[in-house]
Amino acid sequence: MDIGSEVEGFIVEKITLDGEKIARDEDLLASDTLDSLAIVELVSFLEARFGIRVSDDDLMPENFKTIDEIVAFVAAKGG
């Protein structure tokens, strides 16, 4: 399973709970899929699953706007 599929699976199962697929380029922030609490949950998942460290400076909207951007962020962090 690739990073994008794992991230999508986490968001669908743990955050949205509706089972609907999410387009990789869907704006998760504008659609209110991710709010501040959901981002904290997502960051915890990313750190545990991919062995990365997310600093306060990394908590910028452009890193969490879409699944594609989350994948790029994780890859850049070495995950």
pLDDT at 60: 95
pLDDT at 17: 79
DSSP state of 11: I
How do the pLDDT tens digits run along the chain, 79 residues long? 799 999 999 999 999 978 888 999 999 999 999 999 999 999 999 999 999 999 999 999 999 999 999 999 999 999 8
Which pTM value belongs to this model? 0.92
Q: Which domain holds residue 57?
A: 3-76
How many domains does the chain divide into?
1
pLDDT at 20: 85
pLDDT at 68: 97
What CATH number should be reported for the domain holding residue 39?
Answer: 1.10.1200.10
Token pair, residue 59, equals 């908590």
pLDDT at 19: 80
Residue 15 contacts residue 42 (beta carbons within 8 Å): yes
Length of the chain: 79
